A and B are shown apart, each in its own frame.
Chain A
Amino acid sequence: EAGVAQSPRYKIIEKRQSVAFWCNPISGHATLYWYQQILGQGPKLLIQFQNNGVVDDSQLPKDRFSAERLKGVDSTLKIQPAKLEDSAVYLCASSLSGAGNQPQHFGDGTRLSIL
């Protein structure tokens, strides 16, 4: 089966600019996750979708970050405007369902550098 696809792989922007990331989960996976991984730290959940509804977005900085999954399949994460501290790898993952025993399948991530 095809894995989780993310694009772009790398992005360099200046602070205060905007950026968007795209994710296509594994076919049939109902749950989609976006994480932020800062160098030397574990992934931090930003938002979790179940189909096209939001399960949790408590750690999403909503003044600058937004995410959508309009048709319950692929998803976009946007940052506007970017700050220096947003430099990180942004990971997308999917799982068959939101049940706690379901493992997540990760994409390769987008490495974002803010100048």
Chain B
Amino acid sequence: GDSVTQMEGPVTLSEEAFLTINCTYTATGYPSLFWYVQYPGEGLQLLLKATKADDKGSNKGFEATYRKETTSFHLEKGSVQVSDSAVYFCALSASGGSYIPTFGRGTSLIVHP
């Protein structure tokens, strides 16, 4: 079946550091890929998405590139802020007939001033 694997957290960084959160996937067909973010006390919200190979999704300074050859969708940000502290979820929606979503287990990011 489809699956998403994210790096274990928590990831702890100082403000203005570079961020990478790794995400790899297994899916049939050509899935769409998503990053969702959950800020403390809030619901999940879409951060960015990519729907085909080599697409780059971007939002709020975050970027992720859909790499079909390595089945990866790593999240990056050049300079994190304290306000980026949250849990980040990588997800896919596979294209084998019905689009059934699959989520990773989430990676907690803690940014210190």
Contacts and interface: CB of A to CB of B under 8 A. Distances in A.
Interface of B: 4, 31-32, 34, 36, 42-46, 49, 51, 89, 91, 93-95, 98-106
A90 B43 CA distance: 11
Q: On chain A, which size bracket covers the interface?
A: 20 to 34
B104 A42 contact: yes
Given A48-B100, A56-B98, A100 B44 contact: no
Contact of A42 (B42, B89, B94, B95): B89
Contacts of A104: 36, 44, 46, 101
A106 B44 contact: yes
A55 B94 CA distance: 14
Contacts of A56: 98, 100
B61 to A, nearest CB: 19
A35 B38 CA distance: 15
